[in-house]
């Protein structure tokens, strides 16, 4: 079955760049779907960060767009997140997920498979 696994440093210093990778198994990213990142600060709700298509087209949350870069490496079957100039407000559990996006009129944009999440703390 399709599985996603996040990896990366659990501690990042303020003003530095947070970098995470999501390894996909059981499905080839090149075959389709969008792939996304979502985060959840401790005790708070879910926030979409951005998504990437297997071709490399990217879509970002406008509130984070200036600091976010999402890329895909089809040869390694993984996609990555970089968030620059981090502050304590970026401390969160970061999830990667597969995105099911379709519909010509009414659209479906659904996160159908999630990774287990990885906690990232921003602190000096």
- Helix (H/G/I), strand (E/B), else coil: 30: helix
Of 16 and 67, nearer to other proteins (C-beta) is 67
Is 68 a residue that touches other proteins (CB under 8 A)? no
Rounded CA separation 7/23 (Å): 8
Please give the full DSSP string across 47-110, using - where no structure is assigned: EEEEEEETTS-EEE-TTTGGGEEEEEETTTTEEEEEE-S--GGG-EEEEEEEEEEE-SSS-EEE
Exactly one of 1, 103, 104, 124 binds other proteins (CB under 8 A); which one? 103
Backbone angles phi, psi at 9, to 5 degrees: -60, 140
Is 73 a residue that touches other proteins (CB under 8 A)? no
User: How far apart are CB 88 and other proteins at their closest, in Å?
Assistant: 21
Is 7 a residue that touches other proteins (CB under 8 A)? no
Closest by CA to 31, choosing from 5, 51, 54, is 54
Is 41 a residue that touches other proteins (CB under 8 A)? no
Report the site for other proteins in 20-39 (rule: CB under 8 A): 36
Is 45 a residue that touches other proteins (CB under 8 A)? yes
Sites of contact with other proteins (CB under 8 A):
36, 45-48, 51, 59, 61-62, 95, 100, 103, 106-112, 114-117
């Amino acid at each position: 079955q399709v599985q996603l696994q996040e990896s990366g440093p659990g501690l990042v210093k303020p003003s530095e760049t947070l970098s995470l990778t999501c390894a996909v198994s059981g499905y080839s990213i090149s075959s389709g779907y969008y792939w996304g990142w979502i985060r959840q600060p401790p005790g708070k709700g879910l926030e979409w960060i951005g998504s990437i298509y297997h071709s490399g087209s990217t879509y970002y949350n406008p509130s984070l767009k200036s600091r976010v870069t999402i890329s895909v490496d089809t040869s390694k079957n993984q996609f990555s997140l970089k968030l620059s100039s981090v502050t304590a407000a970026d401390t969160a559990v970061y999830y990667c997920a597969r995105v099911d996006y379709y519909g010509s009129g009414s659209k479906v944009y659904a996160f159908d498979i999630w990774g287990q999440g990885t906690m990232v703390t921003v602190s000096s």
